[in-house]
Amino acid sequence: MKRNVAIIGGGQTHHAARRHDVSQPEMVHEAVLAALEDAGMTIDEIDAVILGNMEFFEGQHMTDCWLADSIGAYGRSGVKITTGGTVGATIIHAGAHHVASGLFDKVLCIGFEKQEEGDTNAILSAVAHPLFGRSMAGAAVGFFAMLASSYMANYGATEKHSAMIRVKAAENACKNEYAHLKLTITVEDVLNSRMLAYPIRLLEMCPASNGACAIILADEKTAKDRCKKPVWIRAMDTAHNEQFVLEWRDTKSTSPRFSEVSASRIYKKLGVKDPKSYYDVIEVYEPATWAEIMWYEDLHLCERGEGFRLIEEGETNIDGEIPVNPSGGVLSTNAIGATAMLRIWEAALQIRGDAGGHQVPKEVRRALATAYGGTCWTALTSLSNSTDD
């Protein structure tokens, strides 16, 4: 990028299953106000506003238009981007492009979803091809059920490993005041929860949350003048898999998988040899427990087929060698349009040392945030407290 770009502020709503007290614009406004306050700014200082959300989830066409007043877009430059679950990260990438281009100094990025106003499972089934896929589509649950079955058969992981991921998420979420689900649960509770599609149980799948996240990006001069703890965006990468390449849902497939390809590229850009020592904390987008285990492997935190060992050995716990999702992750909070941005914001809070109850107990210099869209693509964002790396 031609200019360095920093996160100079951000904010999120308290996420919940029901927000009958607010409309969509009112809910998103909460996150925008929180971000402006965190950055010590007024909306008048913002040069451009970028919004991300999926119109089918709420049945509202052109949400950016409806929300223009509540997000401060009135009279300002702006665009709306829609890339599925990745959109929160795509919006940050778009904001970074805006700042790096030299045309804008301060850009407000917003992701949100008010899932209670739609039917997520029905809408996610409509991701599938209308002629060849929709009649057998099982939304996100069906997809991860296939992945998980394949993983267990190939590598000897058990349902207990999945349950351990869920318990870790719950324990961390209880420390995060903004998390949606703050459950006190055991491995047995997870294994006794209702089966959705073998082997995925209710507690192993993310919830449908209402919530929003907003982040303010700025150029280097503004960041240094205005922000005590700027967090720098050091690299970004996006990769998709074509939807009919079904083979990679077989976890032993040798076909390139979007997540692994993207991780390899972003490590190459940054010269990362050992991600486990390079990063101090990682926030992954895990719509289901098994996705977190797959991320361990795709991010090269361990060898292929060894991901479940990391949770067994506690390496990804909040006080482990490489903490993953100290926030409680997507299993605890999933307001889809905001979810990928929350990964980035939580990673930034860790670098700032401002994560509060779920701050990891060590110095955090660098963090990686992942995203998951449409079951087959990602957008990765690498953050640092320094522009030197």
Partner 1 sequence: MSERVGIVAVAQTKFSPKRGDVNVAELAYEVIERVLNETGLKMERDIDNSISCSHDIWDGQTISNIGITDVIGGHLRTEEKMAMDGSTAVYYGAIGILSGEFECTLLLAHTKMSQTDRNVVNNDAFEPIFSRMLGLDFTSAAALQCRRYMERFGITEEQLAMAAVKNLANASKNPSAYNFGNYSVNDILKSAIVASPIHEMEMAPDTDGAVAMIIASEKRAKKITKNPVWINGIGTCYDAYFLGDRDLTECTALRRAAAKAYKMAGIDNPLKQVDLVELSDEFSYQELLWCEGLGLCDLGEGGKLVESGMTMLGGRIPVNPSGGLLGGVPANVMGLNRVAEAALQIMEVAEDRQVEGARTAVAQGHSGFCGQHHCVIVLGK
Q: How far apart are CA 289 and CA 203, in angstroms?
A: 9
Q: 130, 184, 254, 361: which one contacts partner 1 (CB under 8 A)? A: 130
Which residue matches tokens 């240094």?
224
Does 4 interact with partner 1 (rule: CB under 8 A)? no
Does 190 interact with partner 1 (rule: CB under 8 A)? no
CB of 30 to partner 1, least distance (A): 18
Q: Which amino acid, one-letter code, is at 211?
A: G
* Helix, strand, or coil (residue 276): helix
**Phi and psi at residue 372, to the nearest 5°:** -140, 120
CB of 168 to partner 1, least distance (A): 29
Question: Which positions from 326 to 365 touch partner 1 by CB under 8 A, shown as an x/- string?
Answer: ----------------------------------------
Could you tell me the CA-to-CA distances from 143 to 124, 161, 208, 286 in Å, in that order?
11, 19, 17, 13
Determine the interface stretch with partner 1 among 156-164, 239-247, 324-332, 353-361 (rule: CB under 8 A). Answer: 239-247
User: Pick from 55, 93, 95, 40: which is nearest to 239 by CA?
Assistant: 93
Q: Which of 103, 202 has the CB closer to partner 1?
A: 103
Question: Which positions from 83 to 122 touch partner 1 by CB under 8 A, shown as an x/- string?
Answer: xx-----x--xx-xxxxxxxx-------------x-----
What's the chain's Rg over C-alpha atoms? 19
CB of 373 to partner 1, least distance (A): 7
Q: How far apart are CA 286 and CA 77, in angstroms?
A: 33
Q: Which of 98, 106 has the CB closer to partner 1?
A: 98
User: Pick from 219, 185, 215: which is nearest to 202 by CA?
Assistant: 185
Give CA angle at 101 (98, 106), nearest 5°: 45
CB 145 within 8 A of CB 197: yes
CB of 375 to partner 1, least distance (A): 8
Q: How many CA atoms lie within 13 A of 70 on its CB side?
A: 20
Q: 22, 77, 121, 175: which one contacts partner 1 (CB under 8 A)? A: 77
Determine the interface stretch with partner 1 among 57-65, 165-173, 275-283, 315-323 (rule: CB under 8 A). Answer: 57-65
Q: What is the largest CA-CA distance in the chain?
A: 57
Applying CB under 8 A, the residues found at the interface with partner 1 are: 1-3, 23-24, 49, 54-57, 59-62, 64-69, 73-84, 90, 93-94, 96-103, 117, 123-124, 126-127, 129-131, 236-245, 256, 258, 261, 373-374, 376-377
